[in-house]
Chain A
Amino acid sequence: MSDMLAKRIIPCLDVKDNRVVKGVNFLNLRDAGDPVELGSRYSDEGADELVFLDITATIRSRKTIIDMVEKVAENVFIPFTVGGGIRGIEDFDVLLKSGAEKVSVNTAAVDNPNLLSQAANKFGNQCVVLAIDARRSKSRTGHWQVCVKAGTEPTDIDVVEWAVKAEKLGAGEILLTSMDADGTKAGYDNQLNKAVSSAVNIPVIASGGAGKLEHLYDAIAEGGADAVLMASITHFEECGIHQMKEYLAAHGIPMNL
């Protein structure tokens, strides 16, 4: 029914020591290592939202990330999510106060699911993003396992069950990364996207595997995704965000153009 709500294009930037180490390399952007500069350019290009991931995520890097969030918030006037190394409610508090719109959490929520309710009760569920790293189960066909610690550690938790539980607890959005599709440029795992998006009522961001314009369309049309995230696409069909949006709009997807 929500026909008018535009589907979102979300570039993701991996940040280490206040430098972007993995971003989306569109041809018309020179490779800028500065998160503020790159975030600002993506915003000008028409990105609907940004995700910054602190890939060092040590206690020492926390301070650097907070400084970065403050600078991004002073220069970028679209929503952005910050994730990586979130441990507790204090991290939500400080990142939101520094100017992030949302905070994404993976491992800490698996360890302590009540963190989702705590954060939702205090800040509202719209700023609580549950990141799920999903891997196809080898033993159960049509099922996916939740992986934690940056995808290095598989658990016995079923992805769809976890998504449903997380929604009940207070997650406002799910950032769903397919570990199988990530880096392949062969398209999103739309069986995964569909399984999760049809099981929950909160928005699902599809992540991992984008390489062509039609992959974006498929994630939305087949996978039921509300947004598509792209982490590391080199020379994405030689086009930028604006062209992606025009392509999707021309194929009947509502976009903010």
Chain B
Amino acid sequence: MIVVINYAVGNVKSVCNAFEHIGCEVKLSRNASDIEHSSGLVLPGVAAFGYAMNALGDLADLLKKVVRQGKPILGICVGYQLLFEQSCEHGDNKGLGFISGKVIKLPDGLTIPHMGWNSVELPQNMELFKGIGENKHFYFAHSYYSQTTDSQAKFAYTDYGFKLPAAVQKSNVYGTQFHPEKSGPSGLAVLKNFQKICENY
């Protein structure tokens, strides 16, 4: 069973709804035993980075432990950003640090937030995108983005006046800057792939 981390931020329910819709057993929880016994974890996120990290509290250490042991984790939007080392949204805040790099404000001159449907080049060697096609639109809604030099991480990109990281994979750590739960059929296909990853764990 996949556990969606319930850390009382914004819209966590939509992620659960989307997994249920594709026939995946899912539980919204912040209970340590649920997290340890899950087949995979989802870190949703509709909140500011600092607020979200604060809301995670002690759970951060537990997440680091189970992810180090190999449990698949999927970070979405701010949940994706939390996978990195730090963010400068509303002051400097530390993240979970699974992927080296930091989260910074989108460059001036662009419409911010980057909000709406943007097309993502889908690398065929990223498990989340298996069988979906080479290029699909996904729904984005964010004002900050990840900058990384992590050579062990694979990235998918979108074009927002510059090459904007849209998704990541580093061994069992997965993340999408976009919202797969709000991206129609293509988004549901990404969640289905994550479900398969978790089944094989």
Taking beta carbons and an 8 Å cutoff, which residues of A are in contact with B? 1-8, 43, 48, 70, 73-75, 77-79, 96-101, 120-127, 172-173, 201-203, 226-227, 256
Contact = CB atoms under 8 A, between A and B. Distances in A.
A124 B182 CA distance: 17
Interface string B21-49: 10000000000000000000000001110
Given A78-B182, A100-B11, A6 B115 contact: no
Interface of B: 9-14, 17-18, 20-21, 46-48, 51, 78, 90, 109-119, 137, 139, 141-143, 158-161, 179, 181-184, 187-188
Contacts of B17: 73-74, 77, 99
Contact of A4 (B21, B160, B181, B188): B160
A122 B159 contact: no
B162 to A, nearest CB: 8
Given A78-B184, A101-B11, A126-B141, 12 more contacts: A2-B161, A5-B111, A6-B116, A43-B184, A73-B13, A77-B17, A97-B12, A100-B11, A127-B46, A172-B115, A201-B112, A226-B115
Contact of B10 (A75, A96, A173): A96
A126 B20 CA distance: 25
Contacts of B21: 74-75, 77
B13 A97 contact: yes
Contact of A226 (B11, B18, B111, B187): B111
13 contacts: A3-B159, A5-B117, A5-B160, A74-B21, A101-B14, A121-B51, A124-B78, A126-B142, A172-B113, A172-B115, A173-B115, A226-B116, A256-B119
Given A1-B161, A73-B13, A124 B47 contact: yes
Nearest to B120: A4
B113 A125 contact: yes
Nearest to B112: A201
Contacts of A124: 10, 46-48, 78, 142-143
Contacts of B116: 5-8, 48, 203, 226-227
Contacts of B13: 70, 73, 97-99
Contacts of A120: 48
A2 B160 contact: yes
Contacts of B11: 96-97, 99-101, 127
Contacts of A43: 184
A85 B79 CA distance: 30
A244 to B, nearest CB: 15
Contacts of B182: 77-79, 101
A110 to B, nearest CB: 22
Most chain A beta carbons < 10 A, residue from B18, B78, B142, B184:
B184
Contact of A2 (B12, B46, B51, B110): B110
Report, nearest first, the 4 A-B pairs whose CB atoms are least far apart. A1-B161, A126-B141, A256-B137, A256-B117
A36 B200 CA distance: 35
Nearest to A6: B117
A127 B117 contact: no
Contacts of B159: 3-4
